[in-house]
Amino acid sequence: MGAELRCFEERCRARFPVTEVIYNCPRCGGLLECVYPGRAADAEALKRSWRERRMSNAALDQSGVWRYREIISFLDDYRTVVTLKEGNTPLLDAPRAASYAGLDRLVFKHQGFNPSGSFKDNGMTCGTTQALRLRMGRVACVSTGNTSASMAAYASAAGLQPIIFIPHGNISYGKLAQALEYGAKTFQVEANFDQILALVRTLAERLGIYLLNSINPFRIEGQKTIMVEMMDQRDWSPPEWVVLPGGNLGNISAFGKAMREMLELGLIPRSPRLAVVQAAGSAPFYELWKSSDRTRLPRVERPETLATAIRIGDPVSWPKALHEVLSSDGVVEKVTEQEIADAKAQIGLCGIGCEPASAATLAGIRKLRAAGVIARDADVVAVLTGNLLKDPDYIYKYHTGQLAAPGGEKLTPTFGNQPVVVPNDADRIARMLS
Ligand code: F0G
């Protein structure tokens, strides 16, 4: 049986063909997800075949997304797949970060190794392929920078026109530069992410442009494979915890769905606990988690954080995210600007590095460890969502003591590493080094 779109709301559950251009349930307005009625699998055969594909030179098999196509089987023809060989991201041991967090061991799954430098590529290969299938010539998104960079790359690779909307002045130059270079029509809007999302939805509908924000259920399918690949790399032994940063909450929705489906298919024996970490100035999901009323998101009107990737006050996917954190017996945490900045420098000192939003993971783990929620000997995987080079401005300012929080207060360069200006004089430099 094929795939269907299903309303995520329990009281609705209306179903629609995957070939309909819809982003919310036309009946009740709920979020949509891809479902695969009647799907069953021989788990051992699947694992074998996925492992064998790593030896193959076929484009689909070389993609760390499409290699796992049986778990994202929403297409009936694979000839139109647009791939830049996304996924294939490593698990990296980080002893120094582990000791900073108070853990015996910590492993990073580094999504910054993707073609456009973030986890968005896992989803975008699916989103743009679906756009081609639906014969949509133009695709659009609002973005804090990574979705737009990724969409620009995949749309251009597919021969589609990418149109992106970004909050003026609040995305890093690295990400803006990518969008320009990959050929996206780029609008810098004088509004924040949440306000621009409403604008883009109106324009997409009015002009018949395909929307590729994470509300798009096909992007979520692609992002599921981050967790499938991680389990494959661990020989199907689940960690106790998977920790990730939360912004618009698409990724946590994808990870939770992946866990539930891997359990259903018999690929893993149990689900890891999912921990979402938000920046304190943009933490509506954390507030929801702590609230006695979990039916309404206490959105943040003016979200702030230097981790601009997760500067979002009204995340659309919160109902899915809440379901996934609850189903996995997970938690939600928030961390300050100083905690993010210091954790980021520690990840750098591991020789690994990441962009600010990604470092919220290590800061969150440290806090959850101190509170006794995560045990010292726990098996923890943290997902680094974006590459170090996405935001070099932040890094330079941190190390030179110029980084200021959104409120204006200077952050302490606890692990700062100032460059030193020297004359062209071997003797003087030798003296400085001895
Ligand atoms: N980390 C990075 C580096 C991101 O770019 C994002 C989101 C997140 C974490 C949060 O993921 O939204 O699925 O909870 N960036 C989006 C964008 C919003 O437009 O690039 P999420």
pLDDT tens figures, 174-184: 999 999 999 99
Query: Under a CB-based contact definition with an 8 Å cutoff, are residues 2 and 39 in contact?
Result: no
> What angle (nearest 5°) sits at the alpha carbon of residue 320, between those of residues 317 and 323?
145
CA-closest residue to ligand 1 atom 11: 247
Query: Under a CB-based contact definition with an 8 Å cutoff, are residues 384 and 358 in contact?
Result: yes
Given a cut of 70, whether residue 1 has pLDDT beyond it is no
The DSSP-derived string for 401-425 is T--B-TTSPBPP-TT--------S-
Q: How many CA atoms lie within 13 A of 161 on its CB side?
A: 8
Q: 114 CB under 6 A from ligand 1? A: no
Residue among 195, 288, 310, 322 to mutate when testing ligand 1 (max atoms within 8 A of CB)? 310
Q: Distance (Å, rounded) from C-alpha 189 to C-alpha 166?
A: 6
Looking at residue 214, its pLDDT comes to 87
Q: Distance (Å, rounded) from C-alpha 232 to C-alpha 219?
A: 21
Tens digit of pLDDT for each residue in 23-75?
999 999 999 999 999 999 999 999 999 999 999 999 999 999 999 999 999 99
* Cα-to-centroid distance, 182 and ligand 1 (Å): 19
Contacts of 191 (CB under 8 A, 6+ apart): 167, 168, 199
Q: Beta-carbon neighbour count of residue 123 at 10 Å?
A: 30
150 Cα nearest atom in ligand 1: 20
* Cα-to-centroid distance, 407 and ligand 1 (Å): 22
Query: Under a CB-based contact definition with an 8 Å cutoff, are residues 94 and 121 in contact?
Result: no
Residue among 110, 113, 114, 118 to mutate when testing ligand 1 (max atoms within 8 A of CB)? 118
Q: In the chain, what's the furthest Cα-to-Cα distance? A: 77
* Cα-to-centroid distance, 181 and ligand 1 (Å): 21
Q: Beta-carbon neighbour count of residue 164 at 10 Å?
A: 27
Q: Distance (Å, rounded) from C-alpha 253 to C-alpha 33?
A: 10
Looking at residue 312, its pLDDT comes to 96
Among candidate residues 165, 162, 164, 166, the one with its CA nearest the CA of residue 138 = 162
Looking at residue 88, its pLDDT comes to 98
Query: Under a CB-based contact definition with an 8 Å cutoff, are residues 238 and 269 in contact?
Result: yes
Q: What is the mean pLDDT of residues 234-244?
A: 98
Q: 221 CB under 6 A from ligand 1? A: no
DSSP 374: S
253 Cα nearest atom in ligand 1: 13
Distance from chain centroid for Cα 183: 23
Number of H helices, E strands in the chain: 15, 13
Using the structure block, give the residue that is written with the tokens 């996405």.
390
CA quadruple 371, 119, 139, 5: dihedral positive or negative? negative
Q: 355 CB under 6 A from ligand 1? A: yes
CA-closest residue to ligand 1 atom 15: 309
Q: How many CA atoms lie within 13 A of 284 on its CB side?
A: 25
Helices 250-264, 217-233: axis angle to 10 degrees equals 60
Residue among 165, 214, 354 to mutate when testing ligand 1 (max atoms within 8 A of CB)? 214
Q: 246 CB under 6 A from ligand 1? A: yes
* Cα-to-centroid distance, 115 and ligand 1 (Å): 16
Q: 166 CB under 6 A from ligand 1? A: no
Strand pairing of 380-384 and 107-110?
parallel
Q: How confident is the model at residue 91 (pLDDT cuts 50, 70, 90)?
A: very high
Structure tokens at 127: 């989103």
Among candidate residues 340, 358, 335, 333, the one with its CA nearest the CA of residue 113 = 358
Structure tokens at 219: 């992007």
Residue among 172, 251, 278, 355 to mutate when testing ligand 1 (max atoms within 8 A of CB)? 251
Residues forming a β-bridge with 108: 92, 382
Given a cut of 90, whether residue 409 has pLDDT beyond it is yes
* Cα-to-centroid distance, 321 and ligand 1 (Å): 14
Q: 144 CB under 6 A from ligand 1? A: yes
214 Cα nearest atom in ligand 1: 13
Tens digit of pLDDT for each residue in 7-20?
999 999 999 999 99
Using the structure block, give the residue that is written with the tokens 């893993």.
268
The DSSP-derived string for 188-206 is EESS-HHHHHHHHHHHHHH
CA-closest residue to ligand 1 atom 10: 247
Tens digit of pLDDT for each residue in 188-229?
999 999 899 999 999 999 999 999 998 999 999 999 999 999
Tens digit of pLDDT for each residue in 310-365?
999 999 999 999 999 999 999 999 999 999 999 999 999 999 999 999 999 999 99
Structure tokens at 140: 């659009």
Looking at residue 207, its pLDDT comes to 96
Q: 358 CB under 6 A from ligand 1? A: yes
Q: Distance (Å, rounded) from C-alpha 291 to C-alpha 298?
A: 9
Residue among 178, 385, 394 to mutate when testing ligand 1 (max atoms within 8 A of CB)? 385
DSSP 113: G
Q: Distance (Å, rounded) from C-alpha 273 to C-alpha 276?
A: 10
SS3 percent helix, strand, coil of the chain, rounded to 5, is 45, 15, 40
* Cα-to-centroid distance, 75 and ligand 1 (Å): 26
